[in-house]
């Protein structure tokens, strides 16, 4: 029996994929002996969204600005593959909603009837493993609002959503029956963890978050504790997230299973 092409597409989009999620386990509780562990997790694309956190066109820190374009170039085909598989794409460039105010992608989420999130789960975690108290800039600039939109390398396509508000994102997820949130963008120790639409808040609201660990960066200056190279500082924060907040996966692993 010949399958109707449209039906074949629907069936393809409905297939689960299995992701090798990396997490950290404390082998003996209280020992501080953390071990890397990989767990296979079945992901339903129809119940999954990918949120792009603060991938702005420009950052106040020159070092941060210079590191974003390579991340965006690497992320663009990953985002396209996720969209093609039926994963909802949410663009979250904070403090730039005026730029997107009249777009259908912004209006589609801003006009939704709000769903109140549940009482947040009580999740405790220790301090970050890096010192970012001075803003974490490794090139010496002072803070100012440098951004006006998301970097153009990552286009906003038909069917995507644009929001920088956790309550809006939560509403959109619930209305679509979405349970899993892939998180990419900058910066792991700041916005990726602390924005209202990002890992801490969504985890506390019961959304299963997964960090795309190679599509992120950290605001960290090697002259500060623990005095390691910038990339190692990012790795330390990723490990921290894996211990206390969310597992992670490589973008190449995601695109491999989406094929």
User: What pLDDT, on the 0 to 100 scale, is given for residue 163?
Assistant: 98
User: What pLDDT, on the 0 to 100 scale, is given for residue 172?
Assistant: 98
User: What pLDDT, on the 0 to 100 scale, is given for residue 15?
Assistant: 78
Compute the distance between CA of residue 71 and CA of residue 100 in angstroms, rounded to an integer.
Answer: 22
User: What pLDDT, on the 0 to 100 scale, is given for residue 98?
Assistant: 98
pTM given for the model: 0.93
Which residue from 211, 117, 103, 113 is spatially nearest to 157, judged by alpha carbons?
103
101 lies in some domain: yes
Q: Does an H or E element contain 23, and which?
A: strand 17-26
CATH number at 183 reads: 3.40.50.850
User: What pLDDT, on the 0 to 100 scale, is given for residue 137?
Assistant: 98
Q: What backbone torsions phi and psi does residue 165 show, to the nearest 5 degrees?
A: -120, 125
User: What pLDDT, on the 0 to 100 scale, is given for residue 8?
Assistant: 41
Cis ω for the linkage preceding 125 (within 30 of 0)? no
pLDDT digits (tens, 9 = 90+) for 83-103: 999 999 999 999 999 999 999
Contact 138, 230 (CB under 8 A): yes
Count: domains in the chain: 1
Sign of the alpha-carbon dihedral angle for 99, 163, 244, 79: negative
Domain that holds residue 172: 50-121+152-258
User: What pLDDT, on the 0 to 100 scale, is given for residue 55?
Assistant: 98
Contacts of 206 (CB under 8 A, 6+ apart): 118, 121
* Below-70 pLDDT ranges, the chain: 1-14
198 lies in some domain: yes
User: What pLDDT, on the 0 to 100 scale, is given for residue 259?
Assistant: 86
Render the burial of 38-65: b for 16+ CB within 10 Å, e for the rest: eeebebbbbbbbbbbbbbbbebbbebbb
Contact 180, 47 (CB under 8 A): yes
User: What pLDDT, on the 0 to 100 scale, is given for residue 7?
Assistant: 38
Angle, CA of 17, 21 and 26, to the nearest 5°: 150
Pairing, β 208-217 against β 248-249: parallel
């Amino acid at each position: 029996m010949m399958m109707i092409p449209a039906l074949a597409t629907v069936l393809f989009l409905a297939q689960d994929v299995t992701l090798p999620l990396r997490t950290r386990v404390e082998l003996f509780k209280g020992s501080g002996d953390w071990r890397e562990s990989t767990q296979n997790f079945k992901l339903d694309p129809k119940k999954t969204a990918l949120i792009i956190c603060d991938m702005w066109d420009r950052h106040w820190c020159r070092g941060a600005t210079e590191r974003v374009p390579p991340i965006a170039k690497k992320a663009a085909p990953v985002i396209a593959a996720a969209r093609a598989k039926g994963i909802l794409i949410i663009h979250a460039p904070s403090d730039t909603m005026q730029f997107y105010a009249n777009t259908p992608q912004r209006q589609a989420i801003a006009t939704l009837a709000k769903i109140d999130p549940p009482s947040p789960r009580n999740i405790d975690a220790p301090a970050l493993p890096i010192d970012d108290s001075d803003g974490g800039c490794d090139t010496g600039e002072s803070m100012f609002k440098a951004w006006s939109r998301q970097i153009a390398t990552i286009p906003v396509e038909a069917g995507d959503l644009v929001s920088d508000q956790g309550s809006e994102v939560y509403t959109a997820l619930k209305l679509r029956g979405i349970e899993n949130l892939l998180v990419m963008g900058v910066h792991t120790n700041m916005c990726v963890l602390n924005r209202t639409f990002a890992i801490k808040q969504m985890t506390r609201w019961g959304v299963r978050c997964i960090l795309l660990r190679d599509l992120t960066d950290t605001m960290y200056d090697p002259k500060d504790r623990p005095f390691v190279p910038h990339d190692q500082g990012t790795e330390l924060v990723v490990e921290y997230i894996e211990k206390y907040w969310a597992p992670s996966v490589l973008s190449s692993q995601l695109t491999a299973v989406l094929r």
